[in-house]
Amino acid sequence: MADTGSQAGIGGEIYALAAELYPICRSITGDGVRRTLGILGRHLDLTVHEVPSGTPVFDWTVPREWNIRDAYIANAAGERVVDFRAHSLHVLNYSVPVRRTMPLAELKAHIHTLPDQPELIPYRTSYYAERWGFCMSHNALAALPDGMYEAVIDAALTDGHLSYGEYLHRGEREDEFLLSAHICHPSLANDNCSGLALLALLAKHLAGRKTRLSYRFLFAPGTIGAITWLARNEAQAHRIKHGLTVSCVGDGGGPTYKKSRRGNAMIDRAMSHVLRHAAPAPDIIDFFPYGYDERQYCSPGFNLPVGMFQRSQFGTFPEYHTSADNLDFIRPEHLAASFAMITAAIDIVEHDGRYLNLSPKCEPQLGRRGLYGAIGGDKDAAAKNMAMLWVLNLSDGEHSLLDIAERAGLPFAVVLATARLLEEHGLLAPLREDPLERLEL
Ligand code: ZN
């Protein structure tokens, strides 16, 4: 995993997959989720689970399945003035069906707009209250003349299934790294076509590699999907030793890492380390019980070490939950950078461990071994020398490579490469412990 040199095209690949997912109208259940899982499944060996409506999952119940064929508002001349076929955000997500003609004044009670962002269509849902409605730009609503309008939502709410997709990349160990993305949002590019596409291609990237940990990928509707997964996998959930919820990873903001409820888990240290070296001003924030599915993974009955990774934090950017969160808002270079940050954290949990300095009495003579970059003024050589001095000094059996990287202010990858170099020269030996056992302390 340390090799990230072949990622020049990964941003473009993630972008293309996000663009393919973008037009689909998804919700917490229904064929939009299935179509999305079908597309993701072309990149990884995805298992699709179908859980019947009405299934109890802890304090919740798997809801009915929502499928929509068409929705529009038509004027008296029969012209569509709002058309779901033009944008999936135009319908209140999970609306009950309706077919009624009424005056505009009455219809307005069912129309959602953003007066402060009058060009944009808002994203609105009504999962747990039976309502119908439309979303449109405030300007388009203001331009509608009074009169009679026909409101049609050709949707069905029926007993069916909740669908989610899962893929396990098996490593040497049963211990797992969970990577989870919500699949319930309709045409919103950053939130969360970006996260779905990034994780699908990360799974593909891992599939050909030998890893120490196992990697579980979960593509499930927000809240109810994670709750359903936890209810069905309660006995195995303890295998999750590290985890991330991944969303909004295609914009240029942040990066943002929200710590797990534990606050000091290995994933919290690894992500904080990666972000500090990836950006001048990362947002590393403490856990709070709101946000994405880390809320469920970090509920007290599970308290799993799962944090949240985003670029701009949800709710903080003006495009959030509007039609401006479109394919122009996300960029291949930001997706590639987000991918590199997650793979860097994976490198840490895969390779962290303690080493022992085999020549601990005073400094070993590095120059004699050709290790000391003695050329004055060569900044690169000076940095390499400092890395060697740090690794040798702190490899007393107490400090792990991540401890050393944090204390020295060096990227983990540099410390790891240095440890391997010193090992080749007989100056360092890995402690024959299982570093993963240590992580569980
Ligand atoms: Zn959202």
Taking the centre of ligand 1 as the mean of its atom positions, its distance from the CA of residue 248, in whole angstroms, is 9
pLDDT over threshold 70, residue 342: yes
Taking the centre of ligand 1 as the mean of its atom positions, its distance from the CA of residue 226, in whole angstroms, is 15
Taking the centre of ligand 1 as the mean of its atom positions, its distance from the CA of residue 234, in whole angstroms, is 26
Taking the centre of ligand 1 as the mean of its atom positions, its distance from the CA of residue 333, in whole angstroms, is 22
Taking the centre of ligand 1 as the mean of its atom positions, its distance from the CA of residue 414, in whole angstroms, is 36
Domains of the chain (ranges plus CATH)? 4-63+161-350 (3.40.630.10), 68-158 (3.50.30.90), 353-430 (1.10.10.10)
pLDDT tens string 72-114: 999 999 999 999 999 999 999 999 999 999 999 999 999 999 9
Taking the centre of ligand 1 as the mean of its atom positions, its distance from the CA of residue 164, in whole angstroms, is 17
Per-residue confidence (pLDDT) for residue 97, from 0 to 100? 97
Taking the centre of ligand 1 as the mean of its atom positions, its distance from the CA of residue 324, in whole angstroms, is 13
pLDDT over threshold 90, residue 197: yes
Taking the centre of ligand 1 as the mean of its atom positions, its distance from the CA of residue 321, in whole angstroms, is 6
Per-residue confidence (pLDDT) for residue 376, from 0 to 100? 61
Q: At 6, is the pLDDT very low, low, confident or very high (cuts 50, 70, 90)?
A: very low
Q: At 375, is the pLDDT very low, low, confident or very high (cuts 50, 70, 90)?
A: low
Say what percent of the chain tops pLDDT 70.
95
Taking the centre of ligand 1 as the mean of its atom positions, its distance from the CA of residue 90, in whole angstroms, is 16
* 65-74 and 80-83 strand pairing: antiparallel
Taking the centre of ligand 1 as the mean of its atom positions, its distance from the CA of residue 314, in whole angstroms, is 7
Taking the centre of ligand 1 as the mean of its atom positions, its distance from the CA of residue 66, in whole angstroms, is 18
Q: At 432, is the pLDDT very low, low, confident or very high (cuts 50, 70, 90)?
A: confident
pLDDT tens string 392-416: 999 999 999 999 999 999 999 999 9
Ion ligand 1: residues, CB < 5 A: 191
Taking the centre of ligand 1 as the mean of its atom positions, its distance from the CA of residue 320, in whole angstroms, is 7
Taking the centre of ligand 1 as the mean of its atom positions, its distance from the CA of residue 192, in whole angstroms, is 7
Taking the centre of ligand 1 as the mean of its atom positions, its distance from the CA of residue 401, in whole angstroms, is 36
Taking the centre of ligand 1 as the mean of its atom positions, its distance from the CA of residue 335, in whole angstroms, is 18
Taking the centre of ligand 1 as the mean of its atom positions, its distance from the CA of residue 310, in whole angstroms, is 12
pLDDT over threshold 70, residue 377: no
Taking the centre of ligand 1 as the mean of its atom positions, its distance from the CA of residue 409, in whole angstroms, is 35
Taking the centre of ligand 1 as the mean of its atom positions, its distance from the CA of residue 185, in whole angstroms, is 7
pLDDT over threshold 60, residue 3: no
Per-residue confidence (pLDDT) for residue 232, from 0 to 100? 98
Taking the centre of ligand 1 as the mean of its atom positions, its distance from the CA of residue 368, in whole angstroms, is 58
Per-residue confidence (pLDDT) for residue 406, from 0 to 100? 97
Taking the centre of ligand 1 as the mean of its atom positions, its distance from the CA of residue 219, in whole angstroms, is 14
pLDDT tens string 284-293: 999 999 999 9
The rounded mean pLDDT for the chain is: 95
Confirm whether pTM is higher than 0.85: yes
